[in-house]
Amino acid sequence: MNRQPIETPIAFTVEDGRSHGLSRAMMRSSRYKKPWRGVRIKAENAEDTFVRASLAQLQRPDAVISHSTAAELLGLPVRPGGGLHLTTDTDKAPQAKTRAQLPGTIAHRSTLSADDSMTLATPVIAPSNFDGGRTGIEQLTAPATHPLPDGVRITTPLRTWVDLAAQGLPVDDLVAVGDALISLRFSFCTSAELLDAVRQLRPIRGVRHLRQAAELIRAGTDSVKETELRLAIVKAGFPEPEINVPVLDPATGGRIAQPDLQYRALRIAIEYDGDHHRVDRKQWQHDLVRNDGLIDLGWRVLLATDLTLREGKQWTRFIDRLAALVHDQQRGIR
């Protein structure tokens, strides 16, 4: 009679594996990966950051997941990659300095208050999948959907933002994360809470960048690309545009459009078109109707894409067109 396969957790210590009936040979099979000594992870979950973070905490229960790893698990706009970041509290775990560092992890030591960490029961989904779903804060407070009952202890969104500055994140990237924190999509904190957190910071690494970023963070941004475009326009010498403000039909009061960025007094709308604007037929048709409605009201619409932000010639062309639109609209309004 064939034996039924032994059910094991996604991630476990070798000791726990033995308690589940796994032999040494079984735990050395291709079904499991060995990220470091004494632990195993199911092969199909070997690259799952949430599972790997849980596994790291099995070995380092005194540590919390932090920095860019915490940001990735929260769905914040950071570039994934590198090792898992773990932070131990210098007050509660003074012995951590002498403990061996786990392979593939980056160890930090810092003071962690009770308000600096939280348990993440399930990884927050990618921001690109937020549309039509739950906000980031709703996901944080929802019941666990991931088969790791103990969850993963991570730094809070605000503390993660502070740690990203210490990790060396540039000002523009800190603005993008800050825009996400206070956006309706995430709703992790308010503008007031973010500014208050910056004011209370002592002189730590990255604090100057945090203060600069805090002055540039704006509510209402829908994506990191909108943030990037807004900052680039301001750096090019233009006034700061308004963000996602509805344009209303003066006759009916109905909403015609809600441009990503706009100069309302000049009737100039700036839209960032990602790939979904190109491949989603419904979105493409919506964009056409939106733009026609703006043009009928005397607005001019300027489009930007990822290529606009990435290629020097395209960016120069965009800036030249924006300058021409500003000149034309100013002359027409006089």
For residue 68, give the nearest of 50, 82, 55, 54 by alpha carbon.
82
For 138, phi then psi, to 5°, come to -65, -35
Choose the most confident range, by mean pLDDT, from 41-45, 49-53, 321-325.
321-325
- Please report which confidence band the pLDDT of residue 142 belongs to, taking 50, 70 and 90 as the band edges: low
pLDDT at 214: 94
pLDDT (average), residues 227-252 = 93
pLDDT of 129 strictly over 70: no
pLDDT of 5 strictly over 60: no
pLDDT (average), residues 119-135 = 65
pLDDT above 90 coverage of the chain, percent = 39
d(CA 182, CA 157): 10
- Please report which confidence band the pLDDT of residue 147 belongs to, taking 50, 70 and 90 as the band edges: very low
Q: Which two tokens stand for residue 288?
A: 């056409």
pLDDT at 2: 47
pLDDT at 161: 96
| Residues 200-236: tens digit of each pLDDT | 888 888 899 999 999 999 999 988 999 999 999 999 9
pLDDT at 256: 87
pLDDT of 275 strictly over 70: no
d(CA 196, CA 193): 5
pLDDT of 308 strictly over 60: yes
d(CA 192, CA 187): 12
pLDDT at 285: 52
Dihedral of CA atoms 147, 152, 157, 159 in degrees, nearest 10, equals: 180
Label residue 204 left, alpha or beta by phi (over 0 means left) and psi (-120 to 50 means alpha).
beta
pLDDT at 282: 53
How many angstroms separate the Cα of 114 from the Cα of each of 23, 128, 165, 188? Answer: 41, 31, 21, 17
- Among the listed ranges 70-84, 85-99, 179-193, which one has the minimum average pLDDT value? 85-99
d(CA 163, CA 152): 18
pLDDT at 218: 95
Domain extents in the chain: 11-45, 49-216, 224-333
CA gyration radius for the chain?
24
d(CA 124, CA 120): 9
pLDDT of 145 strictly over 80: no
The fourth-level CATH superfamily of domain 224-333 is VSR Endonuclease (3.40.960.10)
3-class DSSP state of 120? strand
pTM as predicted = 0.82
| Residues 8-39: tens digit of each pLDDT | 667 777 888 888 788 888 888 888 888 777 77
- Among the listed ranges 19-28, 88-97, 182-191, which one has the minimum average pLDDT value? 88-97
Under 8 Å between Cβ of 104 and 83: yes
pLDDT (average), residues 296-302 = 90
Place of tokens 């945090």: 210
Do β-strands 268-272 and 300-304 pair in parallel, antiparallel, or remain unpaired?
Answer: parallel
d(CA 77, CA 116): 20
d(CA 63, CA 17): 23
For residue 209, give the nearest of 175, 245, 180 by alpha carbon.
175
